[in-house]
């Protein structure tokens, strides 16, 4: 690891397991399958994501008994670049499935680039409170450009594979569904119109 993640985790007596990095979905899949998760819910945050005080308060007041018919909760994300919130260009609002029942949530292995979690059953959106995301490495413009070039290549590969029926869409396409299902609907309809 190039940063101090391992030392920080060991300092706080966290259980550490090392898995060779292939992509983010496979890392999350490894974590969900190899750690003995004892809680009924998982919150899946990346290292460059923090919760706002408002979201923290919602989490602090969360009671499983109040959400018996819910299997996943979408959080609203604010993405930052060089310290500034990206409010436009489709970056906000962005709802990410970040909290899910341990027994029904899993990592979407059909994605190369970005990870998303999948759950069966009902989901809800928490619109108040946010995840703040800022990758400080992206303050280096060369890093940012290289990352987005890699991401655009991976997305193009995924879409070509989907168009040729070599890759499936994990989420059902549903305009009226949850944010991931709606996104799948837009992707499918864009592909059909081309």
Asked if the structure places residue 158 within a domain, the reply is: no
Question: Is 91 among the domain residues?
Answer: yes
Q: What is the extent of the structural domain holding 120?
A: 5-136
Please name which of 69, 74, 78 lies closest in space to residue 58, comparing C-alpha atoms: 74
pLDDT tens digits, residue range 45-101? 998 999 999 999 999 999 999 999 999 999 999 999 999 999 999 899 999 999 999
pLDDT of residue 163: 85
Is 151 contained in some domain? no
In a domain, 141, yes or no: no
Please give the mean pLDDT across all residues of the chain: 91
Is 161 within the bounds of a domain? no
Which residues are registered as beta bridge partners of 39? Answer: none
Whether 32 is covered by a domain: the verdict is yes
Higher pLDDT, 65 or 166: 65
pLDDT digits (tens, 9 = 90+) for 107-140: 998 887 777 899 999 999 999 999 999 988 888 9
The answer to whether position 155 is within a domain reads no
Q: Are strands 123-133 and 72-81 parallel, antiparallel or unpaired?
A: parallel
Instruction: With respect to residue 110, please indicate whether it lies within any of the assigned structural domains.
Output: yes
Q: What is the pTM of this model?
A: 0.88
Q: For the chain, how many structural domains are there in total?
A: 1
Task: State the Cα–Cα distance between residues 97 and 177, nearest whole angstrom.
Answer: 13
Q: Are 101 and 71 in contact (CB under 8 A)?
A: yes
């Amino acid at each position: 690891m190039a940063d101090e993640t391992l030392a920080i985790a060991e300092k706080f007596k966290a259980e550490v397991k090392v898995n060779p990095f292939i992509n983010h979905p496979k890392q999350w899949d490894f974590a969900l399958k190899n750690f003995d998760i004892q809680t009924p819910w998982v919150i899946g945050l990346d290292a460059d994501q923090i919760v706002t005080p408002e979201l923290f308060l919602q989490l602090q007041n969360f009671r499983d008994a109040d959400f018996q018919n819910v299997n996943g909760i979408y959080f609203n994300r604010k993405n930052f670049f060089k310290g500034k919130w990206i409010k436009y260009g489709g970056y906000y609002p962005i709802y990410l499935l970040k909290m899910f029942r341990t027994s029904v949530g899993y990592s979407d292995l059909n994605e190369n680039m970005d990870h998303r979690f999948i759950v069966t059953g009902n989901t809800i959106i928490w619109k108040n409170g946010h995840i703040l995301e800022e990758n400080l490495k992206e303050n280096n413009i060369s890093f940012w450009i290289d990352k987005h070039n890699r991401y655009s290549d991976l997305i193009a590969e995924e879409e070509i594979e989907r168009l040729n029926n070599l890759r499936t869409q994990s989420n059902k396409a549903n305009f009226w569904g949850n944010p991931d299902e709606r996104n799948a609907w837009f992707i499918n309809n864009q592909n059909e119109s081309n």
